[in-house]
Amino acid sequence: MIPAATGWIAVAILVGVPSALLPAAIAAWAASVFAIATAVVLVMGRWIPATVSITLIVAALLLTSAATTNAVQNPKFLLDAAKFHRFATITASLDVDTRLDAARSPIPVSILAATVGQESFTTAAIPALVFGSVPQAGIGSTIRITGTIVSAEPGDRERFLVFARGSPAVVAPPPPAIDWANELRLQFHRETTALPGDGGALLPGLAIGDTSAVSPTLDAAMKSTSLSHLTAVSGANCAVVVGLVMLVAGAAGANRITRITVSLAVLAGFVILVTPSASVLRAAVMAALVLGSLSTGRPTRGVPILSLAIVVLLASDPWLSRDVGFLLSVLATAGLLVLAGPLAKRLARWLPSPIAAVISIPLAAQLACQPVLILLNPSIPVYGVLANLLSEPAAPIATVLGLLGCAIAPILEPAGRVATDIAWLPSAWIAAVARFFSHAPGAQAPWLPGAVGVLALVVVTAFFVAALVRPPSRSRRIISGSLAVIMIAYFAVLLGTSWGHRIAVPDTWQIAACDIGQGDAVIVRSFGAIALIDTGPKPARLAACLDELGIHHIDLLVLSHYDLDHVGGTSAVLGMVDRAIVGPVSDASDTELRTALAESGAEVDEVARGAEGILGELRWRVLWPPARLGTIEPGNPASVTVRFEGVGACAEGCLSSIFLGDLGEDAQSRLLGLVHPEPVDIVKVAHHGSADQCERLYERLNARVGIIGVGTGNTYGHPTDELLNILNRVGTRITRTDLEGMILLSPAPGGGVLVWTERSPTRDVGAH
């Protein structure tokens, strides 16, 4: 394992410095030759020199592969075009099936040819990402797109970014060796999504790894309960497939070589069907190595097989070294191989052996993966092991029946449909388990973020494993005592922080600005009715904010315009929205978003100045855009601008507010001249605090508090000094999500505004 791990670390570091790959490879080869000579001449047969030699050879091999691949995938023709952001015509192969997830962006492709000006270039497949509209077609389809091309960051798997313009087209269908799988996946997707509830959405993921129908809320529930591995096709799925094939072939009287040959062929077809993701490749290569070893009649050992699989895969694709999915797959497998057995033996002292064995599997995988998961989400799934214990019996049933339904439906549709329908039941059970435990009290225990959190968790995990598996001794008692002290201190801090947070957060808030990075997502609440203005760039961050605020239904969704930082998180609220009001569209992707909202049950209306309605005891009015756009282009200048003000008993005691979307100075000036808006308590500052602002509008609004939705360290320089100076001059108190986190605003006695933020004390902003 040492050579594989060392080579992995070396290539993971150096792929981020492409110019160092070749010199490092040459140095590693030279060092390996020296180490081999030393081992032979001086200390032949000793373990340490042999290990050093093998480690250097593996590192040299991986670095050579990375250097060669980097040279091939960075041709000078495309580098020159990217350097000057040239307009190019790209011929590429789709790496995903865009028919299954039409809203996905960006789209991974493999560039096959390019034309810039009068020059053309043909190349081996070069990974790239396409931003913008692409045709709906299956994996392997050849498409032609036009747009600007830029280089990706060093170390990224994708070499180039293509910003598509115009109308892309499919120029060739997928090859038959791939297309059969496309059609199977598409048909299975349609059949399962017609089934009710979460069970139908989750089943394609359990059976073939297709998670395109899984809603963001269900996805978040699966992750928060450590069940997301069930939809990441890996070793368990490959073991089921190979085991069934070996069993059937053996029952048919086939000899060992025939059984293994058939198993390898079916395994290859299975990989094509479920698509070769990192975890699938790791599992498939390990399965192939095990089958190859069995063909020689030799016994296999798990850790050496895993190590060899790592080397094979990193040599074929060095950029897997930076793939988090690959890392988690390897760690989970290593945890099962190394920890599951000892944990099961120890747990069997207190539990029946079958139950101990079942518990040890998810526990070992979670212990191995959790330090990396902390980097992605600094929290610990408290009910993860219990959720896995309840879900594990259902998972293989859903997987096997789902696979059967997918495979035999084209041949015998009634039988395939019956298998799929039966598979829905265990799938629905798994989804229900995830939903239940994700909403259980204390489902996520917060942990320290970053490298400090990883180190702390590694120490705690090591103490836990040692305390559990070491034989009784004085050192074990010391370790157990230390672990108990650590856990008592952790829970004391956790409970104190949780209670303090609950006490500090005002329950009378009317407006909440979510901390979702560079983008907008603001909630208005009135007597239980909820309006959400924009959804930010990412579904996960919006879903986390809504969960924290206890919001599971949205009466009114306002999408100011269709830029990603305002609508990218919309999938998190699909199925939760009663009514959505939107602005004018500019391209097909805007229309697709509207369609997705309508299909999820929302009433979708394109609105203009004059549209109005009631939210609880607040009246909302659309102030912009005008009914006739004239010279106003869709996008920022046509941002839907909404004003909220109290009516009835709320007329005097509720906050008035206005949300300016991304209006620029020209549109703000026209709004001011057309509408003459009344002063408000709260203004959502336009365009994240850019310099393109109309000071006269902010003077007219005379807001007590200005909300700026902005991401930490954003590259746009938002909010600008010009905007901050404007707000200071007009007397508007500035709140910003990058510095203060979530912002909650409540009416204060005397007509002021009570401002609560995550990272600063509560303040009362009085009347002007």
**In this predicted model, what pLDDT tens digit does every residue of 104-139 receive, in sequence order?**
668 899 999 888 887 888 877 889 988 877 888 889
Q: Would you give the DSSP letter of residue 78? A: H
- Token pair, residue 581, equals 């009001």
Where are the strands (E) in 448-576, listed by range? 511-513, 522-526, 529-533, 554-559
Instruction: Give the predicted TM-score (pTM) of the model.
Output: 0.70
For residue range 402-419, list pLDDT tens digits in order.
888 888 888 888 888 899
pLDDT of residue 418: 92
C-alpha dist (Å) from residue 592 to 100, 573, 659: 13, 15, 24
Residue 504 has pLDDT above 70, yes or no: no
| Residue 618 bridge partners (DSSP) | 615, 646
CA separation for the pair 398, 413 (Å, rounded)? 18
- Token pair, residue 409, equals 């439906």
Question: Which residues, 6 or more positions from 91, have their beta carbon under 8 angstroms from its beta carbon?
Answer: 111, 112, 113, 114, 142, 143, 144, 171
- Token pair, residue 191, equals 């059949």
The DSSP H or E segment spanning 385 is helix 384-391
Mean pLDDT score, 498-506? 59
731 torsion bin: left (phi>0), alpha (psi -120 to 50), beta (else):
left
Please answer whether residues 429 and 394 qualify as being in contact, where contact means their C-beta atoms are separated by less than 8 angstroms: yes
Q: Percent of the chain scored above 90 by pLDDT?
A: 22
Please answer whether residues 690 and 667 qualify as being in contact, where contact means their C-beta atoms are separated by less than 8 angstroms: no
Question: Which residues, 6 or more positions from 290, have their beta carbon under 8 angstroms from its beta carbon?
Answer: 300, 305
Read off the pLDDT band of 727 (50, 70, 90): very high
CA separation for the pair 384, 380 (Å, rounded)? 8
C-alpha dist (Å) from residue 659 to 57, 395, 554, 697: 61, 46, 17, 13
39 CB neighbour count, 10 Å cutoff: 19
Mean pLDDT score, 2-6? 83
CA separation for the pair 529, 133 (Å, rounded)? 36
**Amino acid occupying residue 274:** V
The pLDDT mean for the chain works out to 84
- Token pair, residue 189, equals 């997707």
Read off the pLDDT band of 498 (50, 70, 90): low
Mean pLDDT score, 570-575? 86
The phi and psi torsions of 152 (rounded to 5 degrees) equal -80, 175
Question: Which residues, 6 or more positions from 198, have their beta carbon under 8 angstroms from its beta carbon?
Answer: 215, 218, 427, 428, 431, 432, 435
Read off the pLDDT band of 694 (50, 70, 90): very high
Radius of gyration of the chain (CA): 29
pLDDT of residue 500: 54
For residue range 46-60, list pLDDT tens digits in order.
555 667 778 888 888
Q: Would you give the DSSP letter of residue 216? A: H
Read off the pLDDT band of 761 (50, 70, 90): low
CA separation for the pair 376, 367 (Å, rounded)? 15
